[in-house]
Structure 1
């Protein structure tokens, strides 16, 4: 109640100049960060006259309060408990910066720094939270002997980052394949993302695919690639030689069989011809004998 009433009164006079960063502050998840705030325009003041309030700009919830030469935590938002402090030795020189420990994703947002020494001043800044991703890994599932033309799903996964990463898929020639991609970001209880990206491709022989994952705040890039050796749609070399060998053997058997058949047929023809000749000879002999028996004997 004291904070709200005081701030309402201060808005009538704003002669104190308060300055914070003009650009968003990027704070690493899990680390400590300083939200810089300085003030000027108050000279020869006593710390008992100084009041400093840090608040969340959107909800007006208290992040840290200082007045009557003491830190005040009565109205502090519970999520900031035991995580905030000022720099007491630097207050007299105009430094009202806030030290925020063990940064969380939930801390991201706009913060206002209010300072009062007789007169009042304030300014607001934005803090962004960033966390690096693990090195991405690319996996794929298909038959053990993939062939060109097979449809394959490649999966790229990275863990524990923030904010949501940008994912770029490329082939071995550097061509962008992202239009064939689905991306599924899932946040854990800490707000950190697991990024899972799936690329669907039609295989070509000896295809290489790479996944590049970039954190837009940190600018760091993770890279992973996979090369899939797809067998051409022909017999493997060993199977080809086996097939050729079998074909040669079969051809040899057919030739041998044809030769045997030809010889058998020839022998059969010769036997039939010999039998016919013998039969003809026998018939001729019988005919000759018949003629001889029919001729009368001369006296």
Structure 2
């Protein structure tokens, strides 16, 4: 029993924790001793701090100003026996967050007292559900799952004889509402354990749920797949599988090498084709240049030749006469200038003739 007292009264709360189901309604009762009318007292239920009000009754009515948001519309005063000093606060639609400690507070004039209460909210979730996962580590793995529990449930495996079997692993998570989801695993290596049960128990309420799974006996084809017996041919088969695996790897590697070789040959062939095309282009350019720069044929006219020049019989060569003065006087310079004019004219004639014969380059666009 939780109580405190003053010179005028005591406040008494429940002696045991109040256990209530998740989503249900519950009441948190308190009373004063000796029994008296408490209609004119201030009565308050709060959590850890005085300001964390669950419900406040003062001046004969409810005061909502200090009430926590989580309890607005969910908490109400039960005052059927208020004249006898017995009151309670009812909380609707219990949540996981409602779980924990509370205090009820009574004040009369300058005297005040309080009592402590404990509320345990429990959630009996779905499950357990047991699944046969498959062969593992020389046995068979079983999995037991459950969700929607609060607080975290206790999980226990048992065989058909009631002997406890420890889990190899347990994983638990909480959802946004604070409810637990749990998964426990077990590996059965003993073929004599043909029946296994999974128990989930709420530690507060003591209520448990169970599900049983049957494992086939030896000799059964299904059981044989989970509990294999040693066999010589299986060892040979395993060796054969290893050899086949190595052979397959070698074949894959050789095929890869062959593909790489083909890629390399294809690249070399492509480079040779590019080189051949480039060579052909250069040869065409060279032939075109040879054709364009051939010497032009011309014939000199003796009638227009300078008196100091001598033309050859084929009229294609010219030379100075032997009696031309070489002493460097003014007449000689004049003759040399005339000679330069002649050759300049011949050169212009040659160039003019060359332009007339110019053809379009095979590698350039035609320009008229």
1:212 aligns to 2:199 (yes or no)? yes
In structure 1, C-alpha distance between the alignment counterparts of 2:229 and 2:112, rounded to whole Å: 83
Distance 1:209 1:116, change over 3 A: same
Partner of 1:24: 17
Partner of 2:151: 163
Shift of 1:185: 1.8
Partner of 1:92: 83
Q: TM-score, normalised by structure 1?
A: 0.66
Equivalences for residues 1-299 of structure 1 within 5 A: 15-41=8-34, 43=36, 47=39, 49-57=40-48, 60-118=51-109, 119-142=111-134, 150-178=138-166, 180-204=167-191, 207-229=194-216, 230-231=223-224, 233=228
Is the 1:42–1:117 Cα contact (8 Å) retained in structure 2? no
> Residues 203-236 of structure 1: CA distance to partner in whole angstroms, max 9, x if unpaired?
516722111111112211111111222127579x
> Residues 135-173 of structure 1: CA distance to partner in whole angstroms, max 9, x if unpaired?
311002226xx9xx8332211011211111111112233
In structure 2, C-alpha distance between the alignment counterparts of 1:43 and 1:165, rounded to whole Å: 43
Look up the SS of the partner of 1:135 in the other structure: strand
Q: TM-score, normalised by structure 2?
A: 0.54
Larger CA Rg, structure 1 vs 2: 2
In structure 2, C-alpha distance between the alignment counterparts of 1:44 and 1:219, rounded to whole Å: 39
Is the 1:138–1:226 Cα contact (8 Å) retained in structure 2? yes
Shift of 1:62: 0.8
Look up the SS of the partner of 2:83 in the other structure: helix
Look up the SS of the partner of 2:87 in the other structure: coil
Is the 1:52–1:96 Cα contact (8 Å) retained in structure 2? no
Shift of 1:37: 0.5
In structure 1, C-alpha distance between the alignment counterparts of 2:10 and 2:28, rounded to whole Å: 17
Is the 2:197–2:213 Cα contact (8 Å) retained in structure 1? yes
Is the 2:35–2:84 Cα contact (8 Å) retained in structure 1? no
Is the 1:40–1:94 Cα contact (8 Å) retained in structure 2? yes
Gaps of 5+ in 2: 217-222, 231-368
Question: What is the aligned-residue RMSD (CA, Å)?
Answer: 2.6
Is the 1:150–1:203 Cα contact (8 Å) retained in structure 2? no
Matched residues, number: 218
Look up the SS of the partner of 1:79 in the other structure: helix
